[in-house]
Structure 1
Amino acid sequence: MAILPSLLTAFARRVKANFVKKTHVTDAIQAQFLRDLLLVQRDTELGKQYKVAQIKTIDQFRAQVPILPYSSYEPLTERIAQGESNILTPDRVVYLTLTSGSTGKKKLIPTTRRSQNIVRQATLTSIGFLSEALARQNRQFGKLLVTNSVQKWGRTAGNIDYGPSSAGVLRMDKRLYRQFFAHPYETLQLGDSLARHYVCLLFALREPTMRGMIANFPMLILRTCNYLERYAEDLIQDLEKGTIAPWLEIEPEIRNQLEKMAIASPKRATQLHEILHSQGRLTPKLAWQNLSFVATARGGTSDFYFQRFPTYFEDTPIFGAVYSSAEGIFSIYPDVNQDGSILAIESCFFEFIPEDQWEAEHPNTLLATEVRVGDRYRILITNYSGFYRYDIGDVVEVVGFYNTAPLIVFLHRRGGFVSSTTEKTTEFHATQVMQALQQEFSLPLEDFCITLSENDFPARYLVNIELSQSYKLDDPQAFLRCFDYKLKEVNTHYEISRKDTIPAPQLQILAPGSFATIRQRQLQKGIPDSQLKFPHISEDRNFLMGLSVEKKIDL
């Protein structure tokens, strides 16, 4: 039976209010979370190994259990995949999340009903915050456009389904999430990415009052916008006739299901055709004039892509929802157009490694209320997937507090940098610079990637850019000089090394479609399209191999 979105929203606001109360007593909530978790996990294989049943205090926990990377868990998750039980968690593992592998080796993360309940709780808290934020702006929460696949990838030898995180979440909580979709749940079952996006757009276009769009990353939102523009005529024609384009690669059984649901909407098709004719294009804001929000990841490299959002969304608010990974929920956003998010104190037990401890063999950690505004930390999680003091490698900055819970912003993954000598330029550095250059030169970029030259020692920085369609860079040398200057500003170690050892950078303007080719290569490696993260720095000298360079510019 369908549940009215308004009832779900009201429930979400109550969940959010309960979460807010708990942020007044962060220490107590975190301590209780750890006690409860250790009680549950005490008789698992890993729990017995670290004698967690004997642990009474947080200090004892930190002294008794080491900080562990994924490599320490990998043999255990492989055994879970083979069907062994009570290894990391006493609960039955109902799904194994396969991480994207776009920033490193793929990992298997156990999901249980208990850990999934925590994800649901965080999602409802997020919806509660969003609905209230929209109400303050006289906007409404409502039906959403979502294009993530719900296909499972297969079953392990131990008879456990596995696949991407978003597919697992949407499958296990199908009854909840389908209430919010502006299109049938069946549209997400399509295997072909283009077909899935097209059909989701087609059904969503029937809903003129659709309120939101959601995707894991801003780049994926822009891809959906591109599909809407590119296939506008086809979509309107299908909408008018109640058909689904025959050239789409759709599994016959699913096509049959969807064609039965595809009702002709000639009046709506006429409205959209008039918009397309008068404006020369179809954007989300033109198609859905009541669009209230876009939900996607904030922090890290997101701002680079957000500079192109006004073209498609005008002043529509951007909401971060939750900052999470396959391994856990880290924080929840309390408002729209805000980068700081509240530590998800009900989702994991958190510790923070200060920057001056990153190279220590046994680093000292801080608790949630001990961190300082303006400082950067590596974040550790202990949760119901069975991970203790797990070092995911994410670097966050504390930007404030929400009551007694810290507000954090994701910066970058530790270890992700390029170095000609020892300067360690991170993706965060690179994105800050390229974001500033887009503004200064009024030049939207399709994308960029900083790599290193192959035949220079020390290597020079190669600034690889692809210009957005119909844009031209009139003074490429000024652009390159400005890149060099701004990188010195944000990375002191680069500035020091440029004075002596690092040669001047080179600008490479790539042919149109270059980064689409790179993304296609990533998809061919098995990275799910809903989890595609594009690296903006790479020490892999072959990362851009085979792409056509239209122009090279030296200082």
Structure 2
Amino acid sequence: MVMDGKKLEYKGEKALKELEKLTANAAEVQEEVLKMILTQNKGTEYLNKYMAGVESKSQVPHFKRCVPVTTYKDVRPYIQRIANGDNSNLITSQPVTEMLCSSGTSAGEPKLMPSIEEDLDRRTFLYNLIMPIINQYVGGLDEGKAMFLYFVKAEMSTPCGLPARTVLTSFYKSQHFKNRSHDPYNDFTSPDQTILCYDSNQSMYCQLLAGLVFRHQVLRLGAVFASAFLRAISFLERNWRKLCQDIRTGKLDHAMITDAQCQSAMYSSVLLRPQPLVADEIESICSSKSWKGIVRRLWPKAKYIEAVITGSMSQYIPSLEYYSDGKLPLVCTMYASSECYFGVNLKPFCKPADVSFTLLPNMGHFEFIPLGESATWSIDLDEEEEEEEEVPPNKLVDLVHVRVGCYYELVVTTFAGLYRYRIGDVLQVTGFHNQAPQFRFICRRNVVLSVDNDKTNEEDLHKSITAAKKLLEPYNALLVEYTSCADASTVPGHYVIYWEIAYNNGLVDEAFAIDPTVLQECCAAVEERLDYTYRRCRTLDKSVGPLEIRIVEAGTFESLMDFFINQGASINQYKTPRCIKSKAALKLLNSNVKASSFSSRDPCWNP
């Protein structure tokens, strides 16, 4: 039932049949996965601490009774030893082939996660499910091209020479990705060399140029995250004239593109001849006063936009709908992390608010920390600031025993040596597909604002801002992006929300046109939607000051993204942090503030 190696390379109808088989036998598959992990790794230093001398038939129950729930700080010493060249069986019996870097934007510095060779097979198995699932809803996608904007990040090396890179960089550089050309659904507009270019600006330029040249063949659009797709639209706004010139002449702007591999790939497969008529069409579209619906006008045959739009990425849904004129479905296909790939969306054309992921029981062994039947769980502070509450091993719930409607924190045991590891994601069970549960992603546990006893999680912050931004609509304005911080420089401290506002004719310097009293009402609207503890602190305890909204210059959040990328974040995995703690990042934001307002009244408080 549990596959490895080439057995994982199912495609088409075979992939769907395998999906049904796995989910119909989820309990059996999970048991087999855990047995396999324990059998392979029973001689490791880590497992020996808890399972030395345990007979094979007793391994699984003993594991669930005795192996503790862990966080990164527990596994970090072992990972550091591997990175330094200790090749003994520390956490896995399989050779660690690389270290995968987390995005590092929601919890401080990037974490390093061990990866073994067969992990790529598991990721490929999940990727191979995507198109068979989508083909059940949309046909003919093998008759055109996909304009997916993918990027790699420059690699590092550990002291012993292991590559340290993001999980997406690892996949794009693997033979699994390079050997995809025989699959008609993997006909991308972007040449591989442009995806593998480490200069994100040159990569973006070439990939957009290729997408424009093949615009009438493009049936699918997307990026890994919604934020990356919108960054591409912003890049296009600034550079469409240069791109049109290159298409018109059939020659690259060599001042812009200096990478020899990009140049060679573009001339051999994209810029085959001058195309003045194509350039004229694109110029006519891009010179329009309003860019509403620009995506549909530039790529008229596109059937959907694919990107992660759950969690904090849901903030970008209005912008995606604006640029697509609300006519292109937003498709979110999979759920994955640096630690493990988890599952797929079996209804990819559902509404964004209804996206749920079916966890695939062969990806790893999944357990869950119960958080209750309502969204009122306690969200701890960042693990670097406050000790994680210890979770008893017997408190965890198996994959097939979760309950619909309840909230859980995901815990995973992997083939690469993570044991009962807290991913930090809060999920809600929405249903089952056969035996396999389906989950809605809620938030990351450690993304919080806190001044006193208040603890605001990412979902509550997002809901409150979603309500407040509606007050901008009469001004034909759109909230482009936001982040926040807890400002302790005032007494009492208060929440600061940074907003970048656009108007329907594009990003312009018109934010001052919004009446200051409206911004005050926006502040109050945010506060009214925050939780009981916050409103009590504001109104009764007076331990939290009035919330402040600071309006920043157009382009500030792109500068913030550049800042984090320069600090080591990946353009593929970047997500705007919803709570900023970096002093340098806050300095950048504050240097671009051009207006601010405070809440003019206390929020309602009901004991």
Taking structure 1 as the reference length, what is the TM-score of the superposition?
Answer: 0.90
2:335 to 311, 323, 328: 323
Spell out, residue by residue over 1:165-189, the C-alpha distance to the aligned partner (whole angstroms, 9 max, x if none).
1110111123344543212101112
CA positional deviation for 1:155: 3.5
Amino acid at match of 1:123: Y
SS in 2 for 1:499: helix
Q: How many angstroms apart in 1 are the aligned matches of 2:102 and 2:566?
A: 15
SS in 1 for 2:483: strand
Amino acid at match of 1:430: L
1:348 to 364, 376, 380: 364
Please tell me whether residue 241 in structure 1 is matched to residue 249 in structure 2: yes
Farther off after superposition, 263-272 or 207-216? 263-272
Q: Which runs of 5+ in 1 are unaligned?
A: 1-8
Spell out, residue by residue over 1:446-485, the C-alpha distance to the aligned partner (whole angstroms, 9 max, x if none).
2112222333333122222121124546344344334434
Where has structure 1 moved over 6 Å in runs of 4 or more? 138-141
Farther off after superposition, 526-535 or 465-474? 465-474
SS in 1 for 2:423: strand
Aligned to 2:6: none
Please tell me whether residue 166 in structure 1 is matched to residue 173 in structure 2: no
Please tell me whether residue 42 in structure 1 is matched to residue 15 in structure 2: no
Q: How many angstroms apart in 2 are the aligned matches of 1:327 and 1:495?
A: 37
Spell out, residue by residue over 1:5-62, the C-alpha distance to the aligned partner (whole angstroms, 9 max, x if none).
xxxx992342133112322232122112111222222233333333276353643221
Aligned to 2:199: 192
Aligned to 2:605: none
Farther off after superposition, 66-75 or 211-220? 211-220
Farther off after superposition, 219-228 or 145-154? 145-154
Aligned to 1:269: 279
Q: CA RMSD in A?
A: 2.7
Aligned to 1:113: 117
Q: Is the Cα–Cα contact under 8 Å of residues 463 and 506 in structure 1 kept in the other structure?
A: yes
CA positional deviation for 1:381: 0.3
Amino acid at match of 1:99: S
Amino acid at match of 2:63: F
Aligned to 2:33: 33
Q: Is the Cα–Cα contact under 8 Å of residues 396 and 409 in structure 1 kept in the other structure?
A: yes
1:362 to 392, 402, 427: 392
Aligned to 1:4: none
Please tell me whether residue 77 in structure 1 is matched to residue 108 in structure 2: no
Q: Is the Cα–Cα contact under 8 Å of residues 437 and 479 in structure 1 kept in the other structure?
A: no
Please tell me whether residue 215 in structure 1 is matched to residue 223 in structure 2: yes
1:385 to 413, 416, 441: 416
Farther off after superposition, 419-428 or 540-549? 540-549
Aligned to 1:88: 91
Q: Is the Cα–Cα contact under 8 Å of residues 152 and 570 in structure 2 kept in the other structure?
A: no
CA positional deviation for 1:253: 5.0
Spell out, residue by residue over 1:418-468, the C-alpha distance to the aligned partner (whole angstroms, 9 max, x if none).
112112111211111222333343231221122223333331222221211
Q: Is the Cα–Cα contact under 8 Å of residues 553 and 592 in structure 2 kept in the other structure?
A: yes
Aligned to 2:496: 462
CA positional deviation for 1:249: 4.7
Q: How many angstroms apart in 2 are the aligned matches of 1:482 and 1:141?
A: 48
Identify if the C-alpha distance between structure 1 residues 22 and 256 changes in structure 2 by more than 3 Å, giving closer, same or farther. Answer: closer
SS in 2 for 1:551: strand
Amino acid at match of 2:552: L
Q: Is the Cα–Cα contact under 8 Å of residues 462 and 507 in structure 1 kept in the other structure?
A: yes
Taking structure 2 as the reference length, what is the TM-score of the superposition?
Answer: 0.83
Aligned to 1:510: 552
Aligned to 2:105: 102
Q: How many angstroms apart in 1 are the aligned matches of 2:446 and 2:143?
A: 39
Aligned to 2:232: 224
Q: How many angstroms apart in 2 are the aligned matches of 1:140 and 1:311?
A: 27
Q: Is the Cα–Cα contact under 8 Å of residues 420 and 452 in structure 1 kept in the other structure?
A: yes
Q: Is the Cα–Cα contact under 8 Å of residues 33 and 362 in structure 2 kept in the other structure?
A: yes
2:317 to 306, 310, 321: 306
Q: How many angstroms apart in 2 are the aligned matches of 1:264 and 1:339?
A: 43
CA positional deviation for 1:256: 4.0
1:522 to 564, 568, 572: 564
Q: Is the Cα–Cα contact under 8 Å of residues 480 and 505 in structure 1 kept in the other structure?
A: no
CA positional deviation for 1:200: 0.8
Q: Which runs of 5+ in 2 are unaligned?
A: 1-8, 379-388, 601-607
Spell out, residue by residue over 1:94-141, the C-alpha distance to the aligned partner (whole angstroms, 9 max, x if none).
222122211222222222221111111111122221222324xx8778
Aligned length: 546
1:425 to 445, 451, 456: 456
Farther off after superposition, 532-541 or 379-388? 532-541
2:487 to 448, 453, 456: 453
Q: Is the Cα–Cα contact under 8 Å of residues 149 and 204 in structure 2 kept in the other structure?
A: yes
Q: How many angstroms apart in 1 are the aligned matches of 2:454 and 2:406?
A: 20
SS in 2 for 1:520: helix
